[in-house]
Amino acid sequence: MSFFIRTKKKLKKIISRLFKKKQMRIGIYGPPNAGKTTLSNRIVRDWTGDAVGPVSEIPHETRRARRKEGVTIADEKGNAITIDIVDTPGVTTKIDYKEFLEYGIESEEAVVRAREATEGVAEAMHWLREDIEGVIYMLDSTQDPFMQVNIMLIGIIESRGLPVIIVANKNDLPDASSTRIKSAFPQHPVISISGLEGNNVEELYEKMIDFFG
Amino acid sequence: MIQGVQIDLISSERLENLTSLEKIRMILEKVIDGNVIVLEKGLTPDEQSLLIETTMREIKPDGFAGIEMETYSSESGTHQKSGGLFSGLFGKKDHTSGRMTVIGPANQMKTLKKDKNLISAWVSSR
């Protein structure tokens, strides 16, 4: 490598460090049971070897926003971003402790879960207005994307001018349809993945580097 | 006494005379009382965000379980009208309000069907 090329590269690095943006805080938002924590765990495990939190089929398993700071995602071309991942509780407009009873949870614990879930959703909404700088919006590809909560949340995210990638999750299931999601939100990039199986997550990482970088 | 559900239809003029916090307080007080309300003009995205947050703080076991809310989607799908280049550059908030909105108690109201021009909901008395 010639002296000039080496110097140019060093200079580029120094300039990029000088003007480096602080780490973006990327919130993973979406309705309950869309697979937010599964994806958070996958991202964090793939790039740091760590995990964010437990997952289960019971709605509102995540009742407190969890943050993992300084996650660096890189592609084969050498492009990279360092972000703080914020895994949030599923956003909803209603929570009834009785829905937890159907999963065999005792009444007292169900009441506690419901209270924690309401506090978690309120906190997630507050953070969306005050703290989050980019959003991964998770949708279950087997469900109707036109639910009011999705329309509202995407509208709120758009009104704040936040960059958003929509993830059509659970593409490993037979009823999955990312086409429905693309037609519901044509103004945003939609990436079809399976957070559980890992299908197509590389495309999501590339899009994150391109979009949030 | 006739059993039933009170429906309050609130005009855009009345809404325009209220601050965001006053709107949200009024909506929640009525819905917690078991009423269904119809807003002639919908809430702004910031107001919707605040409504979700405040609703969560009002939920009580065996009491208020939250809200059911439906609004017509805009003509262009979910895409809000942009404020243009300058509003984007200077961080001006987009205050595009939604269209007519129906809000009711989650344990009494259920949306049966919704499309661009129709909201069909079922409401039960307590």
Tell me, letter by letter, the H, E, C secondary structure of chain A.
Answer: CCHHHHHHHHHHHHHHHHCCCCCEEEEEECCCCCCHHHHHHHHHHHHHCCCCCCCCCCCCCCCCCEEEEEEEEECCCCCEEEEEEEECCCCCCECCCHHHHCCCCCHHHHHHHHHHHHHHHHHHHHHHHHCCCEEEEEEECCCCCCCHHHHHHHHHHHHCCCCEEEEEECCCCCCCCHHHHHHHCCCCCEEECCCCCCCCHHHHHHHHHHHHC
Instruction: Measure A145 CA to nearest chain B CA, in Å.
Output: 11
Confirm or reject contact between B40 and chain A (CB < 8 A).
Answer: no
The pLDDT mean for chain A works out to 88
Confirm or reject contact between B125 and chain A (CB < 8 A).
Answer: no
Residue contact B45–A155, C-beta within 8 A: yes
Amino acid B69: pLDDT: 93
Confirm or reject contact between B32 and chain A (CB < 8 A).
Answer: no
Instruction: Measure A57 CA to nearest chain B CA, in Å.
Output: 21
The pLDDT mean for chain B works out to 82
For A92-138, write each residue's pLDDT tens digit: 999 999 988 888 889 999 999 999 999 999 999 999 988 899 999 99
Confirm or reject contact between B118 and chain A (CB < 8 A).
Answer: no
Which of B31, B49, B67, B93 best probes binding to A when mutated, by most A CB atoms within 10 angstroms? B49
Mean pLDDT to the nearest integer, A2-10: 63
Chain A residues with CB-CB distance to B84 below 8 A: none
Window from A26-30, A125-129, B112-116 with minimum mean pLDDT: B112-116
Give this prediction's pTM. 0.83
Whether the per-residue pLDDT at B95 is higher than 50: the answer is: no
Question: Using 50, 70 and 90 to split pLDDT, how confident is the model at A60?
Answer: confident
